[in-house]
Chains A and B, each alone.
Chain A
Amino acid sequence: MDWSQFGSFAARYLPQLWNGMLVTIAVAALAAPTAVAIGVVLTVPRVAGWRLLSGFVRAYIEVMRNTPLLVQMYLLFFGLPILGIFWDEITCGVLAVSLQHAAFLSELIRSGIAAVSPKQWEAGQAIGMRRWAVFRQIILPQAAIKVMAPVSNQLIVLVKDTSLVSAIGVLDLTLSGKVIIERSGASFEVFILVAALYLILTSVIGAGFRISEARFTRRLG
């Protein structure tokens, strides 16, 4: 391996990797809000105490957390067509990532709400607030601040997990790298570049969260 050539090698393949990176960003940008939205919906029955629905949600979370994302993705991409449902690889990829991360996010959100002291409920009720008002104005905002750090961690895992969509043929950053390797044979150099690009992406997200988190958690002390 001739490292003196690394600069020109990088310059030659970066544009192609950049296209893959845009696909990765797109997949993550679709999957993250979807996962958060599903995660919130999954949390509602458990916080509201709807027994039957909570049971379904718990079962869903157990299955999702305890089977590999790659297998779930294969099930959607190769399994659904057998049922007559044909979704393209991006849809299946985004959906698989969203469905699994929604399970993890729901657990985080639920524990964040549970972590707000019951005494905050009492204090709200003591000034004449109804339960829903206490939840919305006091419990939820405090829970949101508490879950910011774990949720940002989870979203960084989500970004990294999008690399699995390469396995069902989405030409993301990972698959773009593999394509270049097929042609150049320089697997080490290419994967260094791929890893560096992922690192940049996750660092930007992490920094964004840390800034907003620092702003809010300072208040809670």
Chain B
Amino acid sequence: MPIPAGAPIVVSVNGLVKSFGPHRVLNGVSFDVRRGEVVVVLGPSGSGKSTMLRCVNFLETFEGGTITVDGAPVGYRSDGQGRRRMLDEKMVAENRERVGMVFQSFNLFSHRTVLQNVMMGPVSVQHRDKSEVRKQALELLEKVGMAEKADQYPARLSGGQQQRVAIARALAMRPAVMLFDEATSALDPELVGEVLRVMRELATEGMTMVVVTHEMSFAREVADRVIFMDGGAIVEQGVPHEIMANPQTERFRSFLGTDRPDRGARIA
């Protein structure tokens, strides 16, 4: 489903630079994500794709470049004299409300039930009416197929079930964009499908998504745009059926070659 060029920009990353100590992991990454767009980020491990994603909700600091979500600056602002200042905690937290994040390791709150996990953000952060939140949370759990487990604790659930709850938890904040950080990489192969199905459904509903993944078929079938990263930079990007069928660089070609499903890599 093509995204009209005039659709408003939700996430804008400009010249993002980030190092861990002396090691530069992001070397001037720039891209925009428009409303309703599904961007899949591919790349070998160590290419910086997860770090880039974590910068978008400021779980990582960065040294250079700017990021905005819904027009609001992420992490830093300019003080008017060209110097960048870190935003205070309150503004950082407010920004994160607009960004839903799904982690590789689910990270559900283990001392809370499934329902309480989903309700926590809207109730404790957004101070929304509890009975309204509860209704919304149950609808979301229904949507991800976890309604009947609403009163279970996370430890009782499989990885795939936990990840679906984590998706519902992020959606409960009504974010402008959802970030998926290798959401299926920690799952047993037979559980990957149930999580990808939920992600596919979100995509068809028009959710704006940035998805870091190794699932080639998800990229091929669901993405509006594929970004291939290597060495901390965007090497190629474009419509999946074009660039994945006909990669322009040797690096992307060899990456696709080594990760093809028929060579025993992951199958969605």
Contacts and interface: CB of A to CB of B under 8 A. Distances in A.
A127 B170 contact: yes
A123 B169 CA distance: 10
Interface string A90-127: 00000000000000000000000000010110111111
Interface stretch (B14-22, B65-73, B101-109, B188-196): B101-109
A126 B96 contact: yes
A123 B111 contact: no
Interface string B156-196: 10000000000001100100000000000000000000000
B107 A120 contact: yes
Interface stretch (B31-39, B117-125, B223-231, B256-264): B117-125
Contacts of A120: 107, 109-110
B157 to A, nearest CB: 9
A81 interface: no
A128 B125 contact: yes
Contacts of B89: 130-131
Nearest to A140: B111
A30 to B, nearest CB: 31
Contacts of B215: none
A128 B108 contact: no
A117 B106 CA distance: 12
A130 B93 contact: yes
Given A119-B103, A119-B107, A221 B155 contact: yes
Contacts of B173: 127-128
Contacts of B105: 119
B181 to A, nearest CB: 10
B57 A221 contact: no
A127 to B, nearest CB: 4
Contacts of B169: 127
Contact of A126 (B57, B90, B155): B57
A55 interface: no
Given A119-B105, A122-B59, A127 B111 contact: no
A133 B108 contact: no
B90 A130 contact: yes
Contacts of A142: 109-111
Interface centre among B59, B105, B107, B169, by most A CB within 10 Å? B107
Nearest to A143: B111
A123 B179 CA distance: 13
A40 B90 CA distance: 28
A127 B179 CA distance: 12
A125 B111 contact: no
Given A119-B107, A137-B120, A127 B153 contact: no
Contacts of B99: 126
Interface centre among A117, A130, A145, by most B CB within 10 Å? A130
Given A119-B103, A119-B107, A221-B110, A127 B125 contact: yes
B156 A221 contact: yes
A219 interface: yes
A15 B153 CA distance: 49
B132 interface: no
A185 interface: no
A128 B121 contact: yes
Nearest to A119: B107
